[in-house]
Amino acid sequence: MSRAGRQLALLLCSCCVAVAVPGGLAEEGCPAEPHQASHYVAAVYEHPSFLSPDPLALTSREQALELMHRNLDVYEQQGAQIIVFPEDGIHGFNFTRTSIYPFLDFMPSLRSVRWNPCLEPHRFNDTEVLQRLSCMAMKGEMFLVANLGTKQPCHSSDPGCPSDGRYQFNTNVVFSSNGTLVDRYRKHNLYFEAAFDTPLEVDHTVFDTPFAGKFGVFTCFDILFFDPAVRLLQDSKVKHVVYPTAWMNQLPLLAAIQIQSGFAIAFGINLLAANIHHPSLGMTGSGIHTPLKSFWHHSMDSPEGRLIIAEVARNPPGLVSAGNATGKTDPFHRKFLQLLAGDPYSEKDAQDVHCDAAPKSTTNASPTFNSEMMYDNFTLVPVWGRDGHVHVCAHGLCCHLLYQRPTVSPELYALGVFDGLHTVHGTYYVQVCALVKCGGLGFDTCGQEITEAMGMFEFHLWGNFSTSSIFPMLLTSGMMLETPDQLGWESDQYFLKKRGLSSGLVTAALYGRLYERD
């Protein structure tokens, strides 16, 4: 066993950790030894960071370092072959451009400099945080990914140089197991972060490891945009992504663990996601997500941080498939295929809502209605009864649901569609098909944030999406993630199939992004 492995085994059995187990939700315990050739041990830490009591106030470098070292003291207790820490975990948030300055480390250009901050601490000024992180990586013999604020002087001859003569960036740094600073990524898609600048060019940061090959790097809000997230994955050798985030949950579609899991499944990669832990701000939800299963932590009750450890495959198997693989043996899937083929007999006893470019109904129509969900005006149709087929359309997108229920719970569910530009807390174009549990029995409660549900479903959810970037989302009662049974394209329709939910359904969604329409 390597030194990192020995340290990991000894350390993690004595602290609060969540170890990946079959089934998904991380449980406390100790991880197994990795299969040397095919797997590696990854860790992410959801950190309840110490925050500045007044982030708008001016302070000294010494005072800033005092707070940051308190957070780094916690970081130093963790370890794995590779570990990821959250965005804003060292310095905090809600600063102004001026008040964050004492918290910033100087970042040299890594194109021209090879540097081990732990071994060369005096090479550059104002690099105390980088030095400490470097020493952690070297001591633990582990790759380490952390987020901090950095500064870079610029000259007036630079047309992009801010008036105060420096760039300030929200930066992820990557250290190798010998403490060398091997790469950095500067966040491109800032989320109301007045303290930081957007880099003039997008960083497409990829680093190599001896245990798993190439890893990509991006931060928080970046996950919703083409650059850098999707462009990084156009390199087929990038099978893993490290992802520091400070994500505020928003149900029913964008809880942290929902988008993390959906991204990993959609792109067939492993995503190592570390979120900050401040439940009072709605900030929780971290995980190690693979295309076939996720190991996660989400807690709005506990004030404690959580270390999640999982054995991860070097070459993650994909879930998304092309074409039908089960239609000949699964009667429920055969009915889905008959609907796609326009077989009128398959519509017997189904509820249906007529819309352009959708199959004609053979039964009475259910009422459509509109309700706000995620600040967007969704068009919805109620999902009633023990079984049926409903569909609803908006603009060019038609969403369908074929479902069976063992029992009908006293709850309202609805199938919703949205095809348009989202403009609140960011501007980006989405196509969404979503089966949601409503907050009450009234249509106007559909789209509200809920976390508990009783309704059990077996279903196919599908739509005629105009994009291939579609994130599948399955969330059940108590913020439990589920993995689709089958996912992919069939007759120009993208579908999700699921049977055997572990608990009541909160949300089942296909969340599509049309980057070119942003």
Spatial CA neighbour of 393 closest among 412, 365, 422: 365
Q: Are residues 379 and 304 in the same domain?
A: no
Q: Residues 46, 135, 193, 220: which is the catalytic one?
A: 220
Pick from 509, 427, 431: nearest CA to 468: 431
Residue 359 has pLDDT above 50, yes or no: no
Query: Domain check: are 259 and 380 in the same one?
Result: no
CB 16 within 8 A of CB 307: yes
Out of 156-160, 327-331, 347-351, 454-458, give the one with best mean pLDDT.
454-458
- pLDDT of amino acid 189: 98
Tokens of 489: 């394209």
Confidence band for 320, pLDDT divided at 50, 70 and 90: confident
Q: In the predicted model, is pLDDT for residue 322 greater than 80?
A: no
Contact indicator for 149, 86 with CB cutoff of 8 Å: no
Determine which of 9-18, 123-132, 155-164, 373-382 has the lowest per-residue pLDDT on average: 9-18
**Do 46 and 161 sit in the same domain of this protein?**
yes
117, 130 Cβ separation under 8 angstroms: yes
User: What is the distance between the alpha carbons of residues 371 and 412, in angstroms, rounded to a whole number?
Assistant: 14
Task: Read off the CATH number of the domain in which 97 is found.
Answer: 3.60.110.10
Q: Do 136 and 277 reside in the same domain of the chain?
A: yes
Model confidence band, residue 427 (pLDDT cutoffs 50, 70, 90) = very high
What 3-state class would DSSP assign to 395? coil
Residue 352 lies in a domain: no
Q: Is 383 among the domain residues?
A: yes
* Predicted pLDDT at 75: 95
Same domain as 178, residue 72: yes
Which of 31-40, 73-82, 313-322 has the highest mean predicted lDDT (pLDDT)?
73-82
pLDDT, residue 274, reads 98
Which of the following is catalytic: 46, 118, 135, 187? 187
Catalytic annotation present for 220: yes
Does one domain contain both 295 and 380? no
What average pLDDT does this structure show over 339-348?
A: 67
For residue range 119-131, list pLDDT tens digits in order: 999 999 999 999 9
DSSP assignment string, 60-121? -HHHHHHHHHHHHHHHTT---SEEE--TTTTT-S---TTTTGGGPEE---TTT----TTT-T
Evaluate if pTM is beyond 0.85: yes
Interval 69-91 mean pLDDT: 95
Do 145 and 290 lie in one domain? The reply is yes
pLDDT band at 319 (very low <50, low <70, confident <90, very high): confident
For residue range 486-517, list pLDDT tens digits in order.
999 999 999 999 999 999 999 999 999 999 99
Q: 106: left (phi > 0), else alpha (psi -120 to 50), else beta?
A: beta
Dist CA 123 CA 116 (whole Å): 9
Residue type, 168: Q
Residue 345 has pLDDT above 50, yes or no: no
> Which residues share a beta bridge with 268?
none
Residue 310 clears pLDDT 50, i.e. is over it: yes
Flag whether 17 is in a domain: no
Using the predicted structure, report yes or no on whether residue 88 has a pLDDT greater than 70. yes
d(CA 344, CA 361): 9
391 assigned to some structural domain: yes
> Which whole number is the average pLDDT over 132-146?
98
Are residues 384 and 493 both part of a single domain? yes
Q: How far is CA 388 from CA 180, 328, 403, in A?
A: 59, 21, 6
Report pLDDT for 340: 92
Does position 362 have pLDDT exceeding 50, yes or no? no
Q: Is residue 329 part of a domain?
A: no
Confidence of residue 249 (pLDDT cuts 50, 70, 90): very high
CA distance 206 to 214: 6
**Contact criterion met (CB below 8 Å) for 152 and 139:** no
pLDDT band for 330, please (50, 70, 90 cuts). confident
At residue 326, the pLDDT reads 54
Q: What number of other Cβ atoms are within 10 A of residue 359's Cβ? A: 21
Helix (H, G, I), strand (E, B) or coil at 363: coil
Among the three residues 292, 313, 334, which one is the final residue of a domain in this structure? 313
Residue 226: half-sphere exposure toward Cβ, Cα within 13 Å: 12
Q: Which amino acid is at 79?
A: G
Q: Give the pLDDT score at 230.
A: 98
Contact by Cβ (8 Å): 272, 309 = no
Does residue 429 sit in the same domain as residue 307? Answer: no
- Determine whether 193 is an active site residue: no
DSSP bridge pairs for 276: 47
Shared-domain flag, residues 95 and 231: yes
Domain count, the chain: 2
Closest Cα partner for 41 from 73, 74, 11?
A: 11
Q: Are residues 165 and 271 in the same domain?
A: yes
Q: Is residue 360 part of a domain?
A: no
| CA-CA-CA-CA torsion sign (442, 443, 445, 448) | positive
Q: At what angle do helices 128-140 and 61-75 cross, to 10 degrees?
A: 20
* pLDDT above 80 for 295: yes
Same domain, 289 and 374: no
Q: Which domain holds residue 480?
A: 367-517
- For helices 3-12 and 128-140, angle between their N-to-C axes, nearest 10 degrees: 100
Q: Which of 87, 141, 193, 311 is catalytic?
A: 87
Q: Which residue has the tokens 């020995």?
A: 6
Mean pLDDT of the chain: 90
CA-CA-CA-CA torsion sign (252, 433, 246, 99)? negative
- Give the CA radius of gyration of the chain: 24
Positive or negative, the Cα torsion across 9, 11, 14, 19?
negative
Residue 135 annotated as catalytic: no
What per-residue confidence (pLDDT) applies to 2?
A: 45
| Lowest mean pLDDT across 357-366, 399-408, 454-463 | 357-366
